[in-house]
Amino acid sequence: MKRSKYKNLLFLASFFLMTSLAAAINLQEKAKENRLSIYLCDNQRYLSLRAVLRLIGAQDSWGRIQDRIFFLYRGKEIALGLGSTTAIIAGKSFPMEYPPRQIEGEILVPLNDFEKILNTVEAGVGPSVSTPELPRKETASPAAGQTGPSPVNTRPFVIFIDAGHGGKDHGAVGNFGLKEKDVNLDVAKRLRHYLQTKLKRYPEIKIVMSREQDVFLSLEERVQRAREVKADIFFCVHTNSSRWNRLDADGFETFYPRSKEEISILPAAVDGEGREEETQADSIVLQIVRDLNETSVLDESRILAEFVQERLAQRLNCPDRGAKARNFYVLKYTPMVSILTEIGFICNPNIEANLRDVEVRQAIGETLAEAILDYLRRKNLILND
């Protein structure tokens, strides 16, 4: 993640608060409005930490080391301990009534205490940032006049759509001659077209294709292009074939990376540019955030893969083979959120016939686009409508 984006995220968080939360934060109300699950532990109301960080726009700033959890809110570092009733806000202890807990892998935070923590930060930040109606001139993008939840985000959000195979690489070939490369490209184009129509109001969201014609691209070139355009999402479309070209192979599946190679996040923050004033403590926090960002990219990839599976399951009448972790080259070496979806088995003659049908391809393209829209909504990049 670039430093500018990081700053934007912080600014977005405060923008969100200014517009939606007003002076004091009523977390229970916000949780209700946003349909967050409320958990009861020892008769206390708890929220999922992930959900609540998303709610306050801090989802990209958090990290964890063993039982310690860190995140940035309004530029202040907040540390919580699992099972501990002491929080640290910008280096100062803050007593909590109930401790954060971990239940079945999910970190839960006590609603009342968490609300107090946020309000303490708000009070400390003071009125200097509470100018709700006026977007800041220096950060306002050309899109600032438009309605939308991210008018202050100056960097475009880039969705990179990669149609698998192409040119001399046909991919899988059906019994009746349908080539995977052609299906992938056609579906990818339909996906792009539908997404463009749906994202008209969001000029800051860009869509880039790895290829628009029947040309060969190596895997390295695909990854390289996604990096060059600073893609935020790498979305790869493929058509399946079973190992022995089984005629009855059926279903759709989506892969996300198990791990990432060469992750870069907050590079500018540690490259020294304009950060000479950075203290030792800051560096450690940034390091922690950086080390743990890989987890967040993997989690986000899994979430996107699950959206894809969910949407395909609603639309297609064939088996849901699930979202699975797999280190395909393009998933492992792309630093951004990445998934690879296999939309159907071309080795199955029935599916091959279906994939020849323009209407089926259109439906699949739209369905994949809807999954991306689900993800953008979850990131508060587009409005619910």
Residue among 63, 151, 166, 171 that touches Zn ion (CB under 5 A): 171
Select 236 or 373, whichever has its Cβ closest to Zn ion. Answer: 236
Q: Shortest gap between Cβ of 177 and Zn ion (angstroms)?
A: 16
Select 15 or 252, whichever has its Cβ closest to Zn ion. Answer: 252
The 233-252 site mask, x for binding Zn ion (CB under 5 A), equals -----x--------------
Rounded to 5°, the CA angle 247-252-258 comes to: 120
Q: Does 164 bind Zn ion (CB under 5 A)?
A: yes
Q: Does 211 bind Zn ion (CB under 5 A)?
A: no
The whole-angstrom separation of Cα 86 and Cα 220 is 48
Q: Shortest gap between Cβ of 10 and Zn ion (angstroms)?
A: 40
Q: Shortest gap between Cβ of 103 and Zn ion (angstroms)?
A: 40
Of 28-36, 136-144, 230-238, 277-285, the window that binds Zn ion (rule: CB under 5 A) is: 230-238
With CB atoms as reference, the residue minimizing the distance to Zn ion is: 238
The letter for the amino acid at 254 is: T
**If residue 220 lies in a helix (H) or strand (E), which one and from where to where?**
helix 219-228
Q: Shortest gap between Cβ of 233 and Zn ion (angstroms)?
A: 19
Q: Which residues contact 107 (CB under 8 A, 6 or more apart)?
A: 48, 49, 50, 64, 69, 82, 100, 101
Q: Shortest gap between Cβ of 43 and Zn ion (angstroms)?
A: 53
Select 121 or 185, whichever has its Cβ closest to Zn ion. Answer: 185
Q: Shortest gap between Cβ of 184 and Zn ion (angstroms)?
A: 7
The whole-angstrom separation of Cα 165 and Cα 176 is 19
Q: Which residues contact 3 (CB under 8 A, 6 or more apart)?
A: 266, 267, 268, 269, 273
Separation of CA 14 from chain center? 20
Select 143 or 340, whichever has its Cβ closest to Zn ion. Answer: 340
Report the side by side order of strands in the sheet with 68-73.
63-65, 68-73, 76-81, 86-89, 92-95
Whether the CB-CB separation of 337 and 233 falls below 8 Å is answered with yes
- With b for 16 or more beta-carbon neighbours within 10 A and e for fewer, the 12-24 pattern comes to bbbbbbbebbeee
Select 8 or 184, whichever has its Cβ closest to Zn ion. Answer: 184
The whole-angstrom separation of Cα 56 and Cα 112 is 15
Select 41 or 215, whichever has its Cβ closest to Zn ion. Answer: 215
Q: Shortest gap between Cβ of 58 and Zn ion (angstroms)?
A: 38
Of 72-80, 170-178, 200-208, 299-307, the window that binds Zn ion (rule: CB under 5 A) is: 170-178
Interface contacts to Zn ion, rule CB under 5 A: 164, 171, 238
